[in-house]
Structure 1
Amino acid sequence: MKKKTMNPIFFKNKTNLIAAVALLSFSGLSAQTFSDFSYKGNDKIYSDNPLKSDEFYSPILQGTYPDPSITKKGDDYYLVNSSFSMFPGVPIFTSKDLVNWKQVGHVLDRPSQLKVEKGGVSQGIYAPDIKYNKHNDTFYMITTQFAGGVGNMMVKTKDPAKGWSEVQKLNFDGIDPAIFFDDDGKAYIVHNDAPPQGTEQYNGHRVIKIWDYDLEKDQVVAGSDKIIVNGGVDLSQKPIWIEGPHIYKYKGKYYLMCAEGGTGGNHSEVIFMADSPKGPFVPAKNNPILTQRYFPRDRKEKVDWAGHADLVEGPNGQWYGVFLAIRPNVNNRVTKGRETFILPVDWSGTYPVFENGLVPMKPKLKLPQGVKNLTGQNGFFPNGNFTFNDKLTEKNLDYRWIAMRGPRENFISATKNGVKVTPFETNIKAVAPVSALFHRLQHEDFETSVTLDFKPKSNKELAGITCYQSEKFNYVFGITKKDKDFYIVLERTEKGESKLIASEKIGLSKNIKLQVVGDKDELSFNYALDGKNTKNLGGKVSADILSTDVAGGFTGSLIGLYSTLSNDIKP
């Protein structure tokens, strides 16, 4: 195997040192190569709502792409999302029309920027904000990193597609920071924080603070902080979790937009206005300006939890807002997680309002004037019902492939036959880097498959597919060994407790094809020893443990190509 050049920082972490040794020499391990990956979505909402030539689908990013933030330079738009403990972190997309998006990489793509190796799946990066500063031609990404003692932080670049700076830690507490550049060149940071000690009135009582920001030192100005919102729109109503703030300047006025109600069924977006970035901010009388909380629970083609938005001026002067929401399945499960939606915004009045943001949302929108829908073509990200095929032979894998808590390059290498995985000692239940390549689950009805070249040498080796919500909630479907025989196994882990669903002795004369089929709220795990004729293992099983309402946390589900040297599944 060709040796890789290692960064000295890499060796500071014990887990990464083990990975490095494994990469450089693993003659005692079984070869395990994944190839011919296929993912196909078949959701009824899309077959029931085919697009016309002047339409596109929302969400624009399906699957776990929450907390969107957006900015613009010239004709180019850039959008980022929360990534928690996924590695690399903060996926970044670009577009010229707000419809057709290409992923250009990740903002945090180096271990020096992202300290999530010991973080649970819902720790790490929360609520990134991206903004372009025309005064110094620089992009800023500011976020909260709940890992590695980082806290609130900022990175910057001249070109979002060509790498970002090292982390600048910021000297304030709280979460969800966002940066604002005024017309006079001054900069400010707003964020969610706890109310002053001794003034908290109820559980969920938060405030929005603003700080002056020194662009030369890349730091908030000590002592400049001021509370500009206490509690939310109406403190007497005990609003909870005012967060995700953004400031905009429009027609000489300053607008503060925030999420309110918590990222669940009561989620909403609210707006305030002032004559100064430091207030006083007056809430709109028609708040909220975006929510789905008022409608019947059993409504058709349900969209829920809408909020945590960001605004941008789109083509032809039409404003748009990106925001998160969910689309629960038939059993009201949230397996796909919080996705990125978009709606036009009407700013003809004093305050902006999301068009059709206060009625049950529809899956389709009208295209901006003069824009063609090219999603899924020419490198543009797909949406709707689509198929993603990847032979896994390219040296540079598609950006959709991510790892958990550490770089994917620590355990993979490209070959002409597929991607070879060098397994870690950790298994899928570890709060540590795991040797699995992940792809987001983007549909409730789906088929995914991969071909695996693997003959384990011991019962400690396993390779296959994982359907992963977190380290405590997942399925593992793979190949291992018992005595002299090979077995295919299916294990369910719930609340950290694992149970063998089924196992079967198999002959492994050649590669095996593994398949997972999602149907509403059930999963089927199938395999084919001849590459064609599939056989089920374990019958249909519930997908409940892949849902946020069961597993908790903030992420949607992932499909992983997984390998380990610490298998504990016993056929």
Structure 2
Amino acid sequence: MRKKNTLLATAVIMLFVMVSFTMTEYSSYPPKKNAPIYTKVTYEGNDQVYKDFPLEEDEFFNPILQGCYPDPAITRKGDDYYMVCSSFAMFPGVPIFHSKDLVNWTDLGGVLDDINEFNPHDTGISQGVYAPGITYNPHNDTFYMIVTAFSGGLGNIIVKTKDPMKGWGSPIKLDFGGIDPSIFFDDDGKAYVVHNDAPDKGKELYNGHRVIKIWEYDTEKDQVIEGTDQIIVDGGVDITEKPIWIEAPHIYKKDGSYYLMCAEGGTGGWHSEVVFKSDSPKGPYIPAPSNPILTQRYFPKDRENKVDWAGHADLVKGPDDQYYGVFLAIRPNEENRVNTGRETFILPVDWSGEFPVFENGLVPIEPKLKMPKGVTNKTGQEGYLPNGNFTYEEDFSSDNLDFRWIGLRGPREAFIKQTKKGLEITPFATNLKELKPTSTLFYRQQHKTFSFSTTLHYQPKSEKDMAGLTAYQNEGSNYVFGVTRKGSDNYLVLQKNSKPDRRGEIVSEIVATEPIELDGPIDLKVSAEGDNYEFSYAVNGSNFKTVGGTVSGDILSTDVAGGFTGALLGLYATSGNDITLD
């Protein structure tokens, strides 16, 4: 069983030897003398909705995971709940969380945390891994995480553990195509894998036509059984209506019957959750007459505190013996931008009738919920993740860096070093526009109104050196705000990189530059109110000055930049700066 990564220098050195990256993607270690040092970071979220809807003693806020934590899947063993989400090319892959009550969650890091086994070093940010499933098998007391990996030729893989607190085994490559797999264990011990796939060759009827397949699974060999695959849903609830993207399937058993729950409508404005029933795990499955059982697609577009795109759900029985469903949804800003990305929400589920229905999932979703009976809200306390409006401060003095800090296309441990002076970042000779690992420590944007600031100690030596901040949606849609050099002078630069032009090239624009004296540390900040972003600095610890005025956050939104992720805020350094100052 692999243990979680440590920050020991010996492990870092071994990482450079073992990883299959080319050496040009990394700078030498230990860091250069002019490596930037970050001594403090403060993230402050201040959304109006949490002021307008203060919590009562028995309530908690929805979403439960704010920021880019989409495609949740959940399982339970006894009193322990484990939930996983998509991570794409972020590293480690597949973030995993633990709870005793579905309200208070701790971050356990990532399931795929070994770069030798999951290596997204050359993939776009929306590739990597997504749509995981997690299931506890009581027949062998084992947890299974199954996912599609779009990197390294992995395809669909499964990993196992007896205890998610202690890490996971190595990935096992599975012999089937398609995406969005999940695994189901029946009462008799038999196992089945279900997933989204294309229709049989020559039978695709329209764009977006997909099917759900099922396989029998051999738990001894950890492989699907050849020849057992069959289609159990073709198209969706009603193929005559040409439904698109039936996906994210999960099977449940209740009162002797089998229920197949799937997302339908695509992960956008027509997203929904639907359910089918059968007497056998392999079908035939009959759709519920009340479908969809969860959606936000029927309501006015200009509604207040809008939650949208709800779907891609999973069910679990809660501590009060009531069912709950976790699912993805978005909270767009006033310009309908999706900068916080797809987030993880939860709702109680009424399964008193024949089919499950998300309670208040067919009306506009509210920003807070009643807690399960007997639960105390401890979010933001005692190591539990915060919720609602909060301030998170990091001085990098802890032995173990918080799991909310992530790498992109590679481990954060490859370029960071925690020192007595602060966090030291080794600049890679790559920049944010390249499909390579970058020396950037990322934190997810979790609010529509926020500020993210840091104190930087740095002296660039040449025009190739740069360090500062980034607001990043993908390699072709981001802002870079940092210190570099021209001749004998230091400059503060704000650059906008936007989606490719007609030639397929990223369009880069210098929004503003400002000469600056670096006699000591400099404070850098990015802040936003909805779609309006500002980048500012201070050299005396206060009196921040804006550089470049107010800029649009449109390129940090999924609907403009494309892909599946939300905006990331990063501490960025490079020895391959390509910004040319006039």
Question: TM-score by structure 2 length?
Answer: 0.96
Deviations 1:118-142 (A, max 9, x none): 1001001110000000111110000
Question: What 5-or-longer segments of structure 1 have no aligned partner?
Answer: none
Give 2:575's aligned amino acid: L
1:31-430 matches, cutoff 5 A: 31-430=35-434
Q: Measured at CA, do residues 13 and 238 of structure 1 come closer, stay the same or move farther in structure 2, by a change above 3 Å?
A: same
Q: Please, which of 535, 540, 564 is the counterpart of residue 530 of structure 1?
A: 540
Distance 1:337 1:6 in 2: 32
Distance 2:551 2:216 in 1: 54
Distance 1:250 1:356 in 2: 22
- What does residue 3 of structure 2 align with? none
Residue 446 of structure 2 is aligned to residue 442 of structure 1: yes
Deviations 1:402-461 (A, max 9, x none): 000001111111111211000101101110100000000000100110000000000000
Distance 1:73 1:513 in 2: 46
Give 1:378's aligned amino acid: E
Distance 1:21 1:306 in 2: 43
Give 1:383's aligned amino acid: N
Deviations 1:380-416 (A, max 9, x none): 1011000000002223210000000001111111111
Give 1:41's aligned amino acid: G
Contact 2:347–2:361 (Cα < 8 Å) also in 1:
yes
- What does residue 4 of structure 1 align with? 10
- What does residue 505 of structure 1 align with? 515
Contact 2:103–2:371 (Cα < 8 Å) also in 1:
yes
1:479-490 matches, cutoff 5 A: 479-490=483-494
Shift of 1:11: 3.3
Give 1:221's aligned amino acid: I
Distance 1:257 1:309 in 2: 8
Q: Measured at CA, do residues 14 and 149 of structure 1 come closer, stay the same or move farther in structure 2, by a change above 3 Å?
A: closer
Distance 1:10 1:487 in 2: 33
Distance 1:417 1:15 in 2: 30
Contact 1:105–1:161 (Cα < 8 Å) also in 2:
no
Deviations 1:270-311 (A, max 9, x none): 000001100111100000000000011111110000000000
Contact 2:232–2:282 (Cα < 8 Å) also in 1:
yes
Give 1:408's aligned amino acid: R
Residue 576 of structure 2 is aligned to residue 549 of structure 1: no
Shift of 1:5: 3.7
SS in 2 for 1:4: helix
Deviations 1:492-529 (A, max 9, x none): 00012110000000111000000111112111111011
Residue 503 of structure 2 is aligned to residue 493 of structure 1: no
Shift of 1:13: 4.9
Distance 2:410 2:104 in 1: 30
Give 2:339's aligned amino acid: T
Distance 2:421 2:511 in 1: 31
Distance 1:214 1:442 in 2: 41
Contact 1:90–1:108 (Cα < 8 Å) also in 2:
yes
Shift of 1:147: 1.1
Q: Which moved more, 1:431-440 or 1:10-19?
A: 10-19
Distance 1:395 1:381 in 2: 19
Give 1:554's aligned amino acid: F
Question: What 5-or-longer segments of structure 2 have no aligned partner?
Answer: 1-6, 500-505
SS in 2 for 1:409: helix
SS in 2 for 1:259: strand
Deviations 1:168-201 (A, max 9, x none): 0100010000000001011000000011111111
Distance 1:121 1:11 in 2: 25
Distance 1:172 1:284 in 2: 29
Shift of 1:229: 0.5
Deviations 1:191-215 (A, max 9, x none): 0001111111101111100000000
Give 1:332's aligned amino acid: N
- What does residue 558 of structure 1 align with? 568
Q: Which moved more, 1:12-21 or 1:479-488?
A: 12-21
Distance 2:81 2:18 in 1: 37
Deviations 1:212-271 (A, max 9, x none): 000011000000001100100001111100000000001111000000000000000000
- What does residue 524 of structure 2 align with? 514
Q: Measured at CA, do residues 452 and 182 of structure 1 come closer, stay the same or move farther in structure 2, by a change above 3 Å?
A: same
Give 2:117's aligned amino acid: Q
SS in 1 for 2:560: helix
- What does residue 22 of structure 1 align with? 28
- What does residue 570 of structure 1 align with? 580
Give 2:263's aligned amino acid: A
Give 1:11's aligned amino acid: V
Shift of 1:551: 0.1
Shift of 1:112: 2.3
Distance 2:111 2:337 in 1: 30
Once the two structures are aligned, what percentage of the paired residues are identical? 61
Give the superposed CA RMSD.
Answer: 1.4
Distance 2:15 2:539 in 1: 43
Shift of 1:570: 2.5
Shift of 1:114: 1.3
Q: Measured at CA, do residues 345 and 3 of structure 1 come closer, stay the same or move farther in structure 2, by a change above 3 Å?
A: closer
Give 1:4's aligned amino acid: T
Question: TM-score by structure 1 length?
Answer: 0.98
Shift of 1:21: 5.7
Contact 1:325–1:338 (Cα < 8 Å) also in 2:
yes
Distance 1:112 1:188 in 2: 29
SS in 2 for 1:161: helix
Distance 2:412 2:527 in 1: 26
Distance 2:269 2:488 in 1: 52
